[in-house]
Amino acid sequence: MGEISTHTGGEVLAIRAASKSFGERQALDGLHLSLRPGEVFALLGPNGAGKTTTINLILGFLRADAGTVRVCGVDAGADPIGARRHVAYIPEQVALYPGLSGVENLRYFTTLAGLDLTKANARTLLTEAGLAEPAHERPAGSYSKGMRQKIGIAVALARRARLLLLDEPTSGLDPSAAADFSTTVRAAAERGTAILMATHDLYRVREMAGRVGVLSRGRIVEEVDPRTLDHVGLERLYIERLAGSAA
């Protein structure tokens, strides 16, 4: 997971003309994307649009064929470990040790990142991440998806990660849990964390994101402030842009 970030100011994420192919399939085609501290960007797109490839380039698990991907100024292709020091990644399904409590899971994962949290500090971070106090000492095997995600948010807060990557964060959440998670994401952004969400959820992004990019065939074909549209308008824009890029 890496050490605490000390980078300040400037772009947290800077993707410039990034392209990536797998054989004859073009996964990314000159992608441009940037994020500054406290911004929440939702990357909307169907399966195969390039969302997962984008995340893997940021994490340094893949290297772009052309263009650059920088996290807090660090080239993720040339120095993936250095780039990952600034990033926290929360996958669609957060894996925790089911027999350990929320506090114990948080302390374990932050120990792997070179941090030594006291139990009191761990409880404070879990509360900041939105996990209700009665759940702190419960076995994680009893947690819902939304509760597991909050452990991931707490790890990001402990590490003071500059960039938080969320992969389909609201998939499988009921409306109440999704609204609760939206509040947690906004709170993390208010602390200055830049957040990139890869999602299909057209409706929830209006509550979380300040910018939305419609990704199609490895390119952002439209970028919009979702708060300027209602749900119907955002859905119409999404469908139109996908149809236009496929023509």
Q: What is the CATH number of the domain that holds 67?
A: 3.40.50.300
Q: Which residues contact 61 (CB under 8 A, 6 or more apart)?
A: 80
- Residue 171 in domain: no
| Residue 246 banded pLDDT, cuts 50, 70, 90 | low
- The domain total for the chain is 1
| Residue 75 banded pLDDT, cuts 50, 70, 90 | very high
Q: In this predicted model, what pLDDT tens digit does every residue of 141-193 receive, in sequence order? A: 999 998 999 999 999 999 999 999 999 888 888 888 888 888 888 888 998 99
Are 17 and 66 a contacting pair, CB within 8 Å? Answer: yes
What is the value of pTM for the model shown? 0.88
b/e sequence 208-233, b meaning 16+ C-beta within 10 Å: bbbbbbbbbbbbbbbebebeebeeee
| Residue 131 banded pLDDT, cuts 50, 70, 90 | very high
Q: How far apart are CA 131 and CA 112, in angstroms?
A: 21
Q: Which residues contact 174 (CB under 8 A, 6 or more apart)?
A: none
Are 52 and 159 a contacting pair, CB within 8 Å? Answer: no
- Residue 233 in domain: yes
Instruction: Provide, rounded to the nearest whole percent, the portion of the chain with pLDDT above 90.
Output: 64
More confident residue, 15 or 203: 15
Token couple for 101: 């409590």
pLDDT at 247 over 70: no
Q: In this predicted model, what pLDDT tens digit does every residue of 2-45 receive, in sequence order? A: 333 333 458 999 999 999 999 999 999 999 999 999 999 999 98
- Residue 137 in domain: no
- Residue 29 in domain: yes
**Residue written as token pair 């994962």:** 109
Ranking 9-18, 124-133, 224-233 by mean pLDDT, the lowest is 224-233
| Strand partners for 21 | 26
Confidence (pLDDT) at 230 = 84
Are 153 and 188 a contacting pair, CB within 8 Å? Answer: yes
Residues in the chain, total: 247
**Residue written as token pair 């000159």:** 30
Average confidence (pLDDT) over 113-138? 93
Instruction: Provide, rounded to the nearest whole percent, the portion of the chain with pLDDT above 70.
Output: 95
Q: Closest Cα to residue 6, out of 74, 59, 103?
A: 74
- Residue 159 in domain: no
- Residue 60 in domain: yes
Residues spanned by the domain of 60: 10-86+185-247
- Residue 18 in domain: yes
Measured CA distances, 136 to 11, 167, 188 (Å): 35, 24, 19
Token couple for 179: 């609204």
Q: What is the mean pLDDT of the chain?
A: 89
Q: Is 187 exposed, middle or buried, given 0-12, 13-18 or 19+ CB atoms closer than 10 A?
A: middle
- Residue 195 in domain: yes
Are 140 and 100 a contacting pair, CB within 8 Å? Answer: yes
What's the DSSP call for residue 53?
Answer: H
